[in-house]
Chains A and B, each alone.
Chain A
Amino acid sequence: MRIACLVKPVPDPEYYNRISIDPVRGILTRAGIPVVMNPTDRHALEEAIRIKEKMGGEVVIFSMAPDDAGGILKDGLAMGADEAYLLSDRAFAGADTLATSYTLAKAIEQFGPFDIILAGNESADGSTSQVPPQVGVWLSMPSLAGIIRMEYGESFRVWCDVEEGRVEYEVTPPVVFAVKRGINTPRYIGIKGIMAAKSKKVSIIRVGDISVDLDRIGLNGSPTRAGRIVVPDIGRKGETITGSPGEIAEGIIEGLRKAGVIKEGMI
């Protein structure tokens, strides 16, 4: 099994409350926010490595990000992936999900073929969930998302989380799978993994290294345009209740009563 795993570096979700807009230039400031591997992608990588451990083969990471994302891909290699391709070029910048999925698909095609493309179900920053199914379209592969459980052998069985339950599918590769965080618990990166990663390669791929239609990449290849950005004011003028635990509990019950959710006699 050759497995491609899509990994996205994202600003650490723990710090999103610090994101603000530069009032002069009207752009987002993310200064001081560290970049991490998108949390859901870690679960995709774990699943990819498990498939490899059971069925043999190799796991290859693909990521489209600036050069400095190499460290995050090294983490993926330390987890157990075999190789990583970092698609980094000014020409790729400004890509929306359609252009991103096209660029990733072209790289996957170039360094393929792959039996399985695995990805996290959504990224923490944009949360669109669009890239995995769109990669599937460019590669003429079917895709499934919201995967919460997988069994593999001759064919694949996967369970997709849907409203009020799960739908089970039987799948014949090649296929694109987008997984949810509940599918597994990613392994810790141990010293052995870190040592092993030293001899593994992160290859930086520039636009000239893959065969792409320049009208389909970057801003040119993106049908969407970002308009204004606003930080919505969702703050409330709250009151602070202080006092003994009993006094605070009374304050809470008073609030519940005013909101009309406590009927007389209930308490």
Chain B
Amino acid sequence: MRDHEDILVFTEFKDGHPLKVGLEILSKARGLADEMSGGLYAMVLTDRADGFDMLFKYGADRVYAGIDESFRYYTGAYFSRMAVSLVENIKPYAFIIGATAMGSMFAPEVAAYLKTGLAAHVIDYKIDHAGNLVQVVPSFGSRVAAEILTPHSRPQMSTVRPGTFELKENLRNGSIVHLDTSELDYIAPRVTPLGFEEVKPEGMPLEDAEVVVVGGGGIETREDWENLKELSRLLNGALGCTRPIVDKGWSDEAHMVGTSGKTIKPKVYIGIAVSGSSHHITGMKDSGLVIAINKDENAPIFDVADIRIVADYKEILPALLSMIKG
């Protein structure tokens, strides 16, 4: 172990602003960097020279910024080249990347170039007495948590899903180091971004809602689904779903809660005809009050519920709707 170990965080930017997940990772990594008496550095690839202040606000000592028109959208060849160069140059102890759509392409690619280990979707970090970073990851949905170590290669790479860590301000007087982008002129990518098409999810975003109503595989008809929509609207909440509803075509992955969907922590979660696969539970287990309605008393969702209702939702839902409507 060296006398100080630095942590590098890739903070993804969009339209001149850092995504929240990057700030969440900085907030968490600040503590780790302090424990190692090292620096906390943010790497940014962006098409605008804006928004770096936020990185200092959440604990970055230094920002390595590559600014180029070609960073507007992700192109693996460009992003990986920049990251590999920077890592080889500053040799960080750990390199952490947000598990966004872009980060999920970028992180494995960089790890393969660097021939180092990559832990996916870390939920906690510790430093063990040998000086290795202990990366705790979920497996089999969230049924199991496993510790992943990368003992013999550096950097120890990992990804973190949005919403995993709390934001914590820790203002630093940091500096900006500009990355040289000239070597990109020699790369001819065979993947060319043509543009971005915004897809506005219907209704309130799941991540922002205080109340989330989730419909599961036991919802029988489209009409029932529409009733759930009304319930969520009456409660000023959002409507989420599990995989079977997506498969039926009533909703889409942007509204799916779980491992391959969203992670939510609303004040109140209401699961209606949700069985509670471990993939779904991963995405909702940190909710405040959990209310579950299912006619199968053995449904796993009841293990993580505060209020259990063993009943047919078809009987409860009309009563609930009419009571709320008065």
Contacts and interface: CB of A to CB of B under 8 A. Distances in A.
Interface of A: 11, 13-14, 16-17, 19, 21, 28, 96-98, 101, 121-122, 124-134, 136-138, 142-146, 157, 159-173, 175, 180-182, 222-232, 234-236, 238-242, 245-246, 248-253, 255-256, 258-262, 267
A241 B307 contact: yes
A162 B111 contact: no
A259 B117 contact: no
A133 B277 contact: no
B238 interface: no
A133 B109 CA distance: 6
A171 B189 CA distance: 9
A163 B19 contact: yes
A249 to B, nearest CB: 4
B320 A249 contact: yes
Interface stretch (B33-41, B97-105, B218-226): B97-105
Contacts of A160: 101
Contact of A253 (B104, B199, B303, B323): B323
A28 B143 CA distance: 11
Given A182-B246, A238-B302, A166 B196 contact: yes
B279 A124 contact: yes
B262 to A, nearest CB: 11
Contact of B108 (A130, A175, A258): A130
Interface pairs A-B: 6 shortest CB-CB: A227-B147, A223-B117, A224-B117, A137-B112, A128-B120, A130-B108
A129 B108 contact: yes
Given A234-B285, A259-B267, A223 B116 contact: yes
A225 B148 contact: yes
B109 A136 contact: yes
Contact of B307 (A132, A170, A252): A252
Q: Counting chain A CB atoms within 10 Å of each CB, which of B74, B111, B302 scores highest?
A: B111
B112 A98 contact: yes
Given A182-B246, A261-B211, A130 B120 contact: yes
Contacts of A251: 307, 309
Interface in B188-233: 189-200, 210-211
Contacts of A21: 144
B105 A146 contact: yes
Interface residues of B, number: 94
Interface of B: 14, 19, 73-74, 76-77, 100-102, 104-105, 107-109, 111-113, 115-121, 134, 139-153, 189-200, 210-211, 235-237, 246, 252-253, 259-260, 267-268, 270, 276-279, 281, 285, 288-291, 300, 302-311, 315-316, 318-320, 323-324, 326
B92 to A, nearest CB: 15
Nearest to B209: A261
A229 B146 contact: yes
A259 B267 CA distance: 7
B77 A142 contact: yes
15 contacts: A11-B140, A19-B143, A131-B108, A142-B76, A142-B77, A142-B189, A227-B146, A231-B143, A231-B145, A232-B144, A249-B316, A252-B320, A258-B289, A260-B267, A261-B211
Contact of B118 (A130, A171, A256): A130
A168 B323 contact: no
A245 B189 contact: no
B143 A17 contact: yes
A165 B145 CA distance: 31
A134 B290 contact: no
Contact of B191 (A124, A126, A132, A142): A142
A234 B194 contact: no
B18 to A, nearest CB: 13
Nearest to B314: A245
B113 A226 contact: no
Nearest to A182: B253
